[in-house]
Chains A and B, each alone.
Chain A
Amino acid sequence: MARHAARTVAQYALVLFAAITVNFLLPRLAPGDAVDYLLPPEQVGTISADQRAQLLGQFGLDKPATTQFVDYLAGIATGDLLVSVRYGRPVREVLAERVGWTALLVGGSVVLSTVIGAWLGFRSAWSRGTVRDTGTLSGVMVLDSIPPFFLGIVLLVVFSVNLDWFPAFGALPTVDASGLALVTEVLQRLTLPLVTLTASSVGPMYLVARSALVGELQEDYVLMAEAKGLRPSRVRHHAQRNALLPVSTVSLIGLGTLVGGATVVETVFSYPGLGRLIYESVLARDYPVLQGAFLLLIVGVILANLVNDLLYPLLDPRVRRAPRARS
């Protein structure tokens, strides 16, 4: 077990390293001078050659590539991720402010969509072929096909602008509030983005849960459970226990994709999260921030994958390499 874990961690470390390297290379591949990335777009055309050279020196961009790479790695290790062009503050700070909000949004979405999707999916699998199943399937697929930003816009317009039930943007109240009032305000602002993001991520969870359970139901041990005389609910339990495996995997790995969806949703609702930051930085060409955010996302996604890999054996005894077994 320990060896398997060590090997997994090593593999992921490798992937992480590859990702970091790509991250390093990316801006340097795109057309244009390195300095272009460091200055706000307005200033790029106006500085003199001397100023350019000075900037290059300041940021260490006149050194050979390998030295830059080493510096870059060192920077990551110490958490020094350069300075945001747009905000003029360390990238690290900027990221720290936003991460929490995205975590809240994405985290809540993952939990909700997994629970709802699995519940609906299992129910569908049990009543497979009936009208209820086909109806739920179609309904979920329709929901899944609505572009998240479109859904967001419509919800925003209907509930915020027209009905004024929810505030239209931001995550924090404009007026200072604390305690329960703060929580309520935050939740209010969280609701629409959360609903939108969850609605667009229920689909895959539902499909996975449904197909997993349908597959399990055809296994011999389910027939045996019935033949044993167990109650129908108990038989279901047997099958669902095993169907949860792919569900949990998809859920954890889906964290990564969810952040992508969050990018768009946050933009629509002006929600100050990481996704929105990425978008703004792209428009503002704030490449240091982009690199930092990219890096943060990679790390997060790899962590999620790692957790899943380590968690899986706990759920599926077949994958365990317990010393208990004697050949």
Chain B
Amino acid sequence: MTAVDAPALPEARARRARHGRQGLGALGWTGVAMLAVVVLGAVFAPALARHDPDVTSGLPFASPGGSHPLGTDDLGRDLFAQLLFGARVSLFIGVAAAVIAVTVGVTVALIAGYYRGAVETVLMRTVDLMLAFPFIVLVVVFAAFFGRGLFTTIVVIGGVIWARPARVLRAQVIKVREFDHVLAAASMGASGARVISRHVLPRIAPLVAVQFVRAANVAVLIEASLAFLGLGDPGRESWGTTLYFAQARNAFLTDSWAWWVLPPGLGLTMAILGFAFLGYAIEEWADPRLERARVRRRATRRPSPKRPPNPARRQGGDMATAADRTEPLALEVRGLSVHYASADGPVRAVQDVSLSVARTQVVGLVGESGSGKTTLVMGLLGLLRPPGRLRSGTVHLNGRDLGFPRRSEIAAARGRDIALVPQSAMNALNPAYTVLAQVAEAAALTMDGRAATAKARDLLSSVGITADRHRAFPHELSGGMRQRAVIAMALVNDPVVLVADEPVTGLDVVTQARILRLLLEVRERYRIGMLLISHDLPLVARVADELVVMYAGRVVESGPTALITAEPAHPYTRLLLDAFPTLRGPRRALVAIGGEPPDLAHLSRGCSFEPRCPVAVAECPQRLPDLYDQGDGRRAACLLRELRERS
């Protein structure tokens, strides 16, 4: 992870952090409701049932009616009472066994996961052994050996199903153990017990809850199966026992079998299902990874036919430089805006951004967290996920209008005319396929199989990956090599513009230099325009011809790099330049930019930078400054410039 905003919904993440996670959801509450019904029925059984379940109170096989809402069994006992009292036994055994299972499981998980070593090995092998075996069989056998009683049943079931919670929770303990705050606590000299109880246990608490609910789910089922097989406690009838009697006493030969069989079965289903829904809901709530917010938009794209790369483009050699106006701009963006719908109102992540990239030009897009630069890239490439939406803008790619924002032809252009080297590109490769296969797959968009593989090989070699590594899997290559492979993948269909989102962040300094060099070479060799996005202003300034500085979703300054770095027009740019420590020159005190990054949900009417600006004037928060053209190719969105020029 880097200091930059995540590919989607950076604000949502912060908002979630502020307000806590979403509730249980429909499924969760349905589960709670079902459990409530069952539990209430069990608790109020004596009040609700009109007869004693063990006593004959009517005619055998009586139909429902009168004081027997469900009729009677073959001995004339009230089925409704059996249902209610059976609930007590089933639930009690299920919950009690779950308590045992989870208590043992958590203890084992904590000890094994925290202390590791030999203790862990022994414990985990035992867990493996227990998990490997079908637990119903184990329970049946144990029950047979140890007799049939309520207490025995509970202990036997609990003693068998603890293994799964132990395994799952241990994995979690190991993960949590590596968390920084746990490490910090340990390194502060806290005892193991303290670290476990205060730091580890609270972090795994939601998962413990999930495991408890799951264990209850399983325990109820096992108890029912046991009872059904006639191995339950004969003195206390659970729902499973009722079903056992139903089968043993040939209820099926009568017409009223349904009244005997269905209620306990449905009761069981409801209890088990209630636990299942609840467990699922808690898990969703606890694990942000599974959040609903990241739904993939169902794209209604038509698959694009294979087109060979435009032959006219390949004659790059004798054409004039990028300043030649007869050649269309590789990329031209005008007035692009992206909004996110949110509970606080629309979040304006990108507002009215325009930029252009010519062939062989490197444009550096600079911004910090919340500047909107990555959202811009995602919006540009049509990779926005809901609730993000393109509000406005036009995009021309190599002179062709892509039809933004409504009808977007960007999907057809992706991977061909415009290629992306994404953030953390080192993880952009599928670990299951070789590098060659993935680059060839990209090439296969515009040529057939054999030619694609050949082209892929060429490109991999040209970015510095030797032929013997072509068939390597991504995890076998170093970070730098993977980055090169991703660049090769982007180049394979002769794009006119390359968008590189933080291409060297996370790599060590020497590899960074190598990759940057590669990018510049690529620019020369293939005459590509490059949009380089980064939070590292000095780094970008070294390689870019033009800079575009973004803040709070808008462009605040743009122009030739040399001019901007020499004399930045916008206060933010100036402060940003001063905020980076330098290697040469006098050691000066670093200037911090006071205040906090902007809240994109609540932007002011005027300049977004004003709260942190050292030279703001009274008018700044009132009026939004336009990008004021200074005549030398530079533009800055600052009222001060405007006011100065005018006076």
Spell out A's residues near B (CB within 8 Å): 11, 14-15, 18-19, 26-27, 29-31, 126-130, 134, 137-138, 141-142, 144-150, 153-154, 157, 161, 211, 214-215, 217-221, 223-232, 234, 238, 241-242, 253, 256-261, 263-264, 267-268, 275, 278-279, 282-283, 285, 290, 294, 297-298, 301-302, 305, 315-318, 322, 324-325
Contact = CB atoms under 8 A, between A and B. Distances in A.
B638 to A, nearest CB: 35
A15 B121 CA distance: 12
B136 interface: yes
Nearest to B221: A147
Given A147-B268, A290-B141, A256 B228 contact: no
A128 B7 contact: no
Interface string B406-424: 0000011111100110111
Nearest to A261: B136
B144 A282 contact: yes
B518 interface: no
B445 interface: yes
A264 B294 contact: no
A204 to B, nearest CB: 11
B514 to A, nearest CB: 19
A160 to B, nearest CB: 10
A44 to B, nearest CB: 15
B473 A294 contact: no
Given A150-B224, A264-B136, A318-B431, 6 more contacts: A220-B424, A228-B419, A259-B137, A283-B230, A298-B133, A305-B128
B414 A229 contact: yes
B27 A227 contact: no
Contact of B229 (A211, A231, A267, A298): A267
Interface class of chain A by DSSP: helix
A308 to B, nearest CB: 11
A134 B30 CA distance: 13
Residue of A147, A232, A241 most packed against chain B (CB within 10 A): A147
A260 B432 contact: no
Interface in B111-146: 125, 128-129, 131-137, 140-141, 144-146
Interface in B243-279: 243, 247, 252, 257, 261-262, 265, 268-270, 272-273, 276-277
Contact of B489 (A214, A219, A228, A242): A228
A321 to B, nearest CB: 11
Contacts of B419: 227-228
B441 A230 contact: yes
B572 to A, nearest CB: 30
Contact of B303 (A227, A231, A264): A231
Interface in B391-439: 411-416, 419-420, 422-425, 427-433
B298 interface: yes
Residue of A224, A297, A322 most packed against chain B (CB within 10 A): A224
B422 A232 contact: no
Contacts of B304: 229
B132 A260 contact: no
B265 A150 contact: yes
Contact of B243 (A150, A294, A315, A316): A150
A100 to B, nearest CB: 18
Interface in B208-228: 217, 221, 224-225, 228
Contacts of A227: 381, 383, 414-415, 419-420, 422
Nearest to B229: A279
A134 B284 CA distance: 13
Contacts of A223: 7, 383, 422, 428
Nearest to B302: A231
